[in-house]
Amino acid sequence: MHKRFMKLKELAEKCGKSVPFIMTTQKSFGLPANKTYSEGYAVLISKLIWLRIASIPKKEIVSLLSRERKLLELLKADSHTPTPMWFEDLCAAKFGPKRLLLSGYDLGHRDGVQTGLDFSERDSELFASSEMGDDALRALKLCMESQHAILARLRQEIPVLSSALKWARRVSTNRELR
């Protein structure tokens, strides 16, 4: 499968924004700038724009972005596309209870832990628990805390956004204003 790449102007058009707006968004969220961008990069930029439109504080978005990136590094997702923009490139428009919000990465399990596993007390292991996944579980917990907080804020903003869209439609189609 051949990946499609786009230039900055195309990226801006795909996101429905101007080139300066996209460049400001890149800088604001610490995203890498390049000569070409993947579809995944466009998906991520769009999600960041939508979260800001929904009044999600930049600080919370930056935190989730950092936590998702860290979690996916611990899960070795960066090894699938060993490029400096691996995170942005793997982003997908997909969503659901088993997916991360910004990247759309499928964790495979709704809460990140497969049910039915044996967690009973064991003899000491050869390696420290941090070398065997505690770091990933801790990163998952932090990531899910951020994601749940943002989703709660999004749910609160739905009525405001809905009213704003209705108002915008009414005033923009009012012939008396033309």
| Average pLDDT for 80-96 | 89
| Domains identified in the chain, total number | 1
More confident residue, 176 or 118: 176
pLDDT value of residue 78: 84
**118 within domain boundaries:** no
Residue 83 belongs to some domain of the structure: yes
Quick check: 129 pLDDT over 80? no
pTM score of the predicted model:
0.82
Using alpha carbons, select from 26, 31, 19, 143 the residue that is nearest to residue 87. 31
Examine residue 39 and state whether it is found in any structural domain, yes or no.
yes
With respect to residue 56, please indicate whether it lies within any of the assigned structural domains.
Answer: yes
Range of the domain at 41: 5-111+129-177
> Average pLDDT of 13-25?
97
Q: Does some domain include residue 148?
A: yes
- Integer Cα distance of 21 and 48 in angstroms: 12
> pLDDT tens, 40-60?
999 999 999 999 999 999 999
